[in-house]
A = this chain, B = another copy of it.
Amino acid sequence: MASLPVLNQPPRRSGALLDNLARRMRLHAEGVLAPLGLRPRHLVALTVLRDRDGSTQQALATTLMMDRATVVGLLNDLEADGLVERQRSPEDRRRHIVRLTDHGARLLAKAEFSLAEVEDAVLCALDTDQRAQLYDLLALAASGPEHGPDHGGCGAAAAAQDDAPDASC
Copies in the complex: 2
How many of chain A's residues touch chain B, expressed as a range? Answer: 35 or more
Interface residues of A in 59-84 (CB under 8 A from B): 63-65
Interface string of A20-60 (1 = CB under 8 A from B): 11111111110000000000100110111000000000000
CB contact under 8 A between A12 and B135, given known A18-B22, A125-B154, A147-B122: yes
Of the residues B23, B119, B125, B140, contact of A13 by C-beta under 8 Å = B119
- Note all chain B residues with C-beta closer than 8 A to A165: 113-114, 116-117
- A16 within 8 Å of B by Cβ? yes
- A141 within 8 Å of B by Cβ? yes
- Note all chain B residues with C-beta closer than 8 A to A14: 25, 119, 123, 131, 134-135, 138
CB contact under 8 A between A159 and B127, given known A116-B164, A117-B164, A165-B114: yes
Please list the residues of chain A having a beta carbon within 8 angstroms of any beta carbon in chain B.
Answer: 10-29, 40, 43-44, 46-48, 63-65, 109, 112-128, 130-131, 133-135, 137-145, 147, 152-154, 157-165, 169
